[in-house]
Structure 1
Amino acid sequence: MKKAVTILGLILLFTGPANMLAQVNGFTAVQAEVDFAKKLRPWDGFGFNYVETAQTINYASDRQEYGGFSLLKEPDRQKILDMVFGEDGLKVGLLKMFYDPHHQSAAGSDLDHEASTQWIRYFAREGLKRTRSRGADLQIITTLYGPPPFVTQQNTMRGRDLNPAMKGALTNYLADWVKYLRDKEKLPVRYVSLHNEGEDWSRWDAEDKTGNIGTGHDYNMYWSPAQTAEFVKLTRAALDKAGLKEVGVTPGENTNWYRFSNWGYAYALADDPEALRNLGLITSHGFYVGSYGRWFGEHTSAGTDYLRERRPELHAWVTSTSWSQMDTKNVKEMHGNIYTAKVNGIIPWAGIQRPSQWVGGDPNPGSAFTVREDGSYEVRRGYYFYKQLTRAGQAGMAVARTSSMDSEMPIIAFAANGTRHPDAFVVTNMSAYNRKVVVSVKGTNARRFAAFRTTEKADRYQNVAYEQYQGIGDYNLTNEGTLLYDAPAGSVTTFFAK
């Protein structure tokens, strides 16, 4: 005998809590969820990258200083450092330091780690002071921007091919720099990265194996998947010999996550048991290109997933990614790296830039700061959009599960995970219209959230955000545990549990 179904039973059966919300709002609001109890992976933090020497062929005659601190007055430097590392600033926990090719002239000769690195070292030292003064710490990764000329077969800057006889010279070059930073500068270097976009073999051609040395790209040498796997092992041995057992080795930094997997780098590491065992961190750049073509680069986790099947504890960092137009779509790129590429940390491309120093114009001109040739500087809206994320996702937190039934309204969330940092989530409205959103908030004891917002709207004279990480008050959860919010067009809003 069938039981009678009441009208109330039908309502509960076909609506449920989420659908009831949609009906209450007449299907005019985006349905979304944040569940802080569903932790996807540990979060190591967001970071910063000060780039000093990136392209100059002859440092003695062309002392390139792309970051621009050399032009600023000391009070201005201190203010920028506070804005990056300080309690009221970005509060970044990761720092990238490039290692340029100008530290040694020949195998066996003395290494000079200071001539071409004055400002990158200053930035790291001062940043570490501020970070530790607020009870936190930095994790530093140093990346070989390009090898010294003598280790290449071409014996010139940007030479394409490694000279096999110079493998030991190159690993010693790496280890000596790390030891200098640890012992002399007292910097907490955690990882050494083997290359910067060294997979891009098309930067050279059969006739020109020096990479168009006069006007070409930033420093590179070609790194095949096999060579990368080999140097994970060789560099590990060199670091151990130098007494740097606590410093991990990464496989270098491909242009994007698609290349890391589909160009064979993840597989080369997985197929070599010793390389896999010696791998300290998975790294790649996270540049995104969604259209098909040679520069296609999606936010795929395929390579990372393949390695984590064999070593589940491995973390992955984006070690460079574009600031794009410094807008809501750039925040969506961050969302893609976190939720699709499944990373544990993000360091964007150069956060402070002196545009005149980039040969041919920087293809990624977005930034947090710009330094002008007259010694003045500008805080750009990229700073404020990035701040919406960095303060929410502090080191030691966890990426929390989110969903949103509108692809123009991605949500990023970080659970406190036992840290002193509050649960936090970030709502982005990429559309040209105001959008109402109903967020079902789970897995937290908080009933009130403090909100801060940055918008794309700028006045007609300056490229600055109309709202620059501006506090907009507190939002209370309803009795059903939902937060109702009217997100302005082109806005990013961060909600912190209170």
Structure 2
Amino acid sequence: MTPISQNSKTVVVTINAQSTAQTMEGFGAAGAWWAQDVGGWEDEKRRLIADLLFDSAKGIGLSFYRHNIGGGNGENIQDVWRRAETFEVAPGQYDWTRDANAMWMLRAARDRGVEHFVVFVNSPPARMTVSGLTTGEKDGKSNLSPEMYAEFSQYMVDVIRHLQDEENIPVDWLSPINEPQWNWSYKNGQEGCHYGPAEVLDLTRVLLETLQQNQLDVKLSLFESGEWKTADVYIEKLASDPQVWDALPHLSIHSYWSHARIKNAS
């Protein structure tokens, strides 16, 4: 340890509590992919983890929780921790007993007072994909064909409706896309789906219409960009449609390589 110089100056930091620089809505955690493992631990241990994460008296009291809706059919994913079951057993038909471990953790978050819930999707169900796999298309192109946009949208609506009505999970947000700029291919070790900027816009249009038709009270969180420096083309495409742009309360961009800057699309 380097000794402090006797000539070092004292730095005084003054906090003005009357001046608001930024408002933080909360702090949270995502359930991919640990929840489908930890949720199956013996009861004492999984309750301890849930208490430490979500209980404000016994732990850090997270206020946001992101629940992963899996695409299923992940046999090609070598790391079993990164596989995620899907509720869907046939078009429009669901087995709500699936993904039991992750569902246990979701309920545990609810019971411990988590205020906000985000449902997110890494890949559409395997049957909706071009490759038949949830890890991506063989050449890294979009793995969701336009003919499936409406069906994929209805699938997400059905799942959220069940969580809200049957599980009493107050889902605030739906995040339908994750890191779309990467060339997700069938060789990847996790679920993923590539979308170009125009595809993100088109899917968002369909999804907004589906939400309205189903009168589902949930907001869209787009578009979970994998980095800042390649996010601008997606932002500009979304902003090119005023109706879509006005329907987006915020943009979701991951902080990897966050030293890069993007253009202001507002």
Match for residue 115 of structure 2?
138
Partners of 1:77 and 1:68 in 2: how far apart? 6
Name the CA shift for 1:125/1:196 in 2 (closer, same or farther; >3 Å): same
Instruction: Choose which of 15, 24, 41 in structure 2 pairs with 1:34.
Output: 15
> Are 2:89 and 1:112 equivalent residues in the alignment?
no
Partners of 1:222 and 1:113 in 2: how far apart? 28
The within-5 A match list for 1:323-472 is none
Partners of 2:260 and 2:115 in 1: how far apart? 27
Instruction: Choose which of 291, 302, 306 in structure 1 pairs with 2:265.
Output: 306
Partners of 1:278 and 1:42 in 2: how far apart? 21
Name the CA shift for 1:31/1:225 in 2 (closer, same or farther; >3 Å): farther
Instruction: Choose which of 162, 182, 192 in structure 1 pairs with 2:164.
Output: 182
How much has 1:301 moved relative to structure 2? 6.5
Match for residue 150 of structure 1?
127
User: Contact 1:149–1:157 (CA<8 Å) still a contact in 2?
Assistant: yes
Partners of 2:197 and 2:96 in 1: how far apart? 29
Residue type at the aligned position of 1:165: E
Name the CA shift for 1:173/1:286 in 2 (closer, same or farther; >3 Å): same
The gaps in structure 2 that reach 5 residues or longer are 1-5, 73-85
Instruction: Choose which of 91, 97, 113 in structure 1 pairs with 2:67.
Output: 97
User: Contact 2:36–2:101 (CA<8 Å) still a contact in 1?
Assistant: no
How much has 1:40 moved relative to structure 2? 2.4
Residue type at the aligned position of 1:306: A
CA RMSD of aligned residues (A): 2.4
User: Contact 1:51–1:67 (CA<8 Å) still a contact in 2?
Assistant: no
Q: More relative contact order in 1 or in 2 (CA 8 Å, sep 6+)?
A: 1
The C-alpha deviation readout for 1:160-206, integer Å capped at 9, x for no partner, is 332221111111111111111111111010110122222102x44xx
Give the greater-gyration-radius structure (CA).
1
User: Contact 2:36–2:102 (CA<8 Å) still a contact in 1?
Assistant: no
Residue type at the aligned position of 1:196: N
Partners of 1:96 and 1:125 in 2: how far apart? 12
Report the TM-score, using the length of structure 2 for normalisation: 0.81
> Are 2:152 and 1:170 equivalent residues in the alignment?
yes
> Are 2:62 and 1:88 equivalent residues in the alignment?
no
Q: Secondary structure at the match of 1:40?
A: coil
Q: Secondary structure at the match of 1:283?
A: strand
Identical aligned pairs, as a percentage? 19
Name the CA shift for 1:36/1:273 in 2 (closer, same or farther; >3 Å): same
Instruction: Choose which of 220, 227, 243 in structure 2 pairs with 1:249.
Output: 220
Partners of 1:83 and 1:282 in 2: how far apart? 29
User: Contact 1:151–1:167 (CA<8 Å) still a contact in 2?
Assistant: no
Name the CA shift for 1:301/1:127 in 2 (closer, same or farther; >3 Å): farther
The C-alpha deviation readout for 1:363-386, integer Å capped at 9, x for no partner, is xxxxxxxxxxxxxxxxxxxxxxxx
Match for residue 123 of structure 1?
105
Name the CA shift for 1:157/1:125 in 2 (closer, same or farther; >3 Å): closer
Report the TM-score, using the length of structure 1 for normalisation: 0.45
User: Contact 1:146–1:158 (CA<8 Å) still a contact in 2?
Assistant: yes
How much has 1:280 moved relative to structure 2? 3.2
Q: Secondary structure at the match of 2:255?
A: coil
Q: Secondary structure at the match of 1:170?
A: helix
Instruction: Choose which of 234, 237, 241 in structure 1 pairs with 2:209.
Output: 237
Partners of 2:244 and 2:117 in 1: how far apart? 22
Partners of 1:252 and 1:153 in 2: how far apart? 21
Partners of 1:186 and 1:170 in 2: how far apart? 23
Residue type at the aligned position of 2:157: A
User: Contact 2:89–2:95 (CA<8 Å) still a contact in 1?
Assistant: no
Partners of 1:120 and 1:299 in 2: how far apart? 34
Partners of 1:197 and 1:283 in 2: how far apart? 10
Q: Secondary structure at the match of 1:195?
A: coil
Give the structure with the higher percent strand. Answer: 1
How much has 1:90 moved relative to structure 2? 0.7
The within-5 A match list for 1:477-492 is none
Runs of 4+ aligned residues of structure 1 deviating over 6 Å after TM superposition are: none
Instruction: Choose which of 179, 196, 200 in structure 2 pairs with 1:224.
Output: 196
User: In the comparison of the two structures, how many residue pairs are matched?
Assistant: 241
User: Contact 2:92–2:155 (CA<8 Å) still a contact in 1?
Assistant: no
User: Contact 2:30–2:67 (CA<8 Å) still a contact in 1?
Assistant: yes
The gaps in structure 1 that reach 5 residues or longer are 1-24, 54-64, 132-136, 205-210, 288-296, 308-498
